[in-house]
Amino acid sequence: MLTKISRLSIQKKNKSKIVCLTAYSKNIAEEIDKYADIILVGDSLGSVLYNYDTTRKVSLKMMIEHSKSVRKGVKKSLMIVDMPFNTYKNKFQALKNCKKVLKETKCDGIKLEGGRKLNGVIRYLTMNKIPVMGHIGITPQTIRGKYRYKGKTNLEKKKLIKDSKSLEEAGVFAIVLECVERKLSKQITETVKIPTIGIGSSKFCDGQILVTDDMLGLTESKIKFVKKYIDLKKNIRQAVKKFKLDVKKSSYPSIKYSY
């Protein structure tokens, strides 16, 4: 019998684009779940919800608590949880923390940032039946300075190709390619047999992911790959303004909204 993860790899690779979005709470997750294939509880919640200047400040406890909330809103999609910075420094620490996340959140898998250097850790996790999603290109947990796409030099291209093959060999079921040059992301996607999920890495990937709050216009993101599909901030301002006017005029609460 195929698992949700094996169905994703077999049925989607080179056949149907994978839709992936982030969620940090039940309310958002249950709306995304109607349309997404994967819901990622991303450590991006550090900047989106807590105004941190880096995802490195996100703790395991924070990820678990938000994931518990998201789990309540997910029925159909694959639910993946980011492992935060410094929670998978070696294979023993990684296994202990990943088991804790899977047990407490009932997620379907976890995501780790990094290439070949994580080969041993990922092999150990997959050997212990922990489903792992990889993440190469720009890795927010280790980035310094401004976003700059990867794959610009021949050295970077060779490294990313080796990283993708290494992750596949280690047993990841999919790889996030973040800000990887277009032609290179196409090459990687055609080379590996597992799905690639792009973010700022071209239409040639097997799927795409965005931070939901960015896509909904709830953040002030200026990153090139972010497309805002709606300006929810504007809608929120209009609703709050109308509420204020109703309160000032004593038209709210009317009898309809009173006991």
Asked whether the beta carbons of 157 and 170 are under 8 A apart, the reply is no
Cα separation, 9 vs 2, in Å, equals 10
The residue type found at 50 is Y
Cα separation, 99 vs 236, in Å, equals 39
| Helices 154-170 and 119-127, packing angle to 10 deg | 20
Point out the catalytic residue in the list 104, 156, 169, 178. Answer: 178
The residues that bridge with 39 in the sheet, in sequence order, are 21, 79
Active site residue 30: no
Give residue for tokens 């608590």. 65
Burial class, 62, CB count within 10 angstroms (exposed 0-12 / middle 13-18 / buried 19+): middle
Asked whether the beta carbons of 66 and 105 are under 8 A apart, the reply is no
The residues that bridge with 207 in the sheet, in sequence order, are 18, 197
Residues tagged active-site: 178
